[in-house]
Amino acid sequence: MLNTNWFTEIFEQSGSAFSLQIKGKLFEQQTAYQKIEIFDTTHFGKLMVIDGCVMLSSRDNFIYHEMMAHPALLSCTAAKEVLIIGGGDCGTLKEVLKHHTVEHVTQVDIDEGVTRAAEIYFPELCSANTDPRATLLFDDGIAWIKNKAPESVDVIIVDSTDPVGPAQGLFTQEFFSDCYKALNQGGIVIQQSGSPLLTPNEMVEMRQAMRAAGFVSLQSYQFPQCVYPSGWWSATAGGKNINLSEAANSISDKLSFDTQFYSVAGHHGAMVLPPYLEKLLNEN
């Protein structure tokens, strides 16, 4: 919904909405997959919207990108080979490449239009795109992971939209089984898992799919994200023959790179879920 001064995303299933005051529209493109729009806002910098849903803003995207990258990378012992499925704005890629242990990152996003728009309007997120360790591919990530060699990746980050449209297949047992096969022993997959308040069943279903695919150790992380429905978001990880709780306890308190939101103490705090959510996840 858009009037002269505001962009509004309505989340009908919860009877709620989120609005940002805008100065104007900077970009619009209908690709083969989705509609991409970019607005200039009064207080949140640039705003990227895909098919009417907020993807990121200049002001707060660092929270999401850091929480998608660092908990998994730091929990995995010396992660060298990383795969990002989705992530076309390249913010997660930038965070992954802060890790000196990483030797190579492959990013597979189905829509090149997202990356090209980000390069123009969010250049700060794309500053690592030319890193020699990075390979950017524009392809179907679901098909790509299915053909990935067994035990060839240390960390898989699924930086996708919600489970609708092209992203729907990224939330299935079949997809997570392909991830499990591609991961090395001690490897980790992590994926955004929606709002703990508005869509907790999304977290339940993702964990069920991960567990059915073979992941025994599961961990959900909570963090604020004010431009997403409810302002409260999550990511869920699965470990292949690695205990994610024990791995978090072994992370050094001193990071070798700068962050804006992530800290090791915050990592542990993000793992502590509210009682109602812990009960729901444990019962299912």
Active-site annotation, residues:
159
H/E stretch holding 21 reads: strand 16-30
In three-state secondary structure terms, 182 is helix
In whole angstroms, give the CA distance from residue 224 to residue 270: 10
Q: What number of other Cβ atoms are within 10 A of residue 120's Cβ?
A: 12
- Residue (of 105, 95, 100, 98) closest to 68 by Cα position: 95
Radius of gyration of the chain (CA): 18
* Alpha-carbon distance values, 280 to 112, 235, 238, 259 (Å): 38, 16, 18, 32
Pairing of strands 35-41, 46-50: antiparallel
H/E stretch holding 35 reads: strand 35-41
**Joined tokens for residue 284:** 């299912």
* Alpha-carbon distance values, 263 to 63, 66, 103, 206, 256 (Å): 11, 10, 23, 26, 12
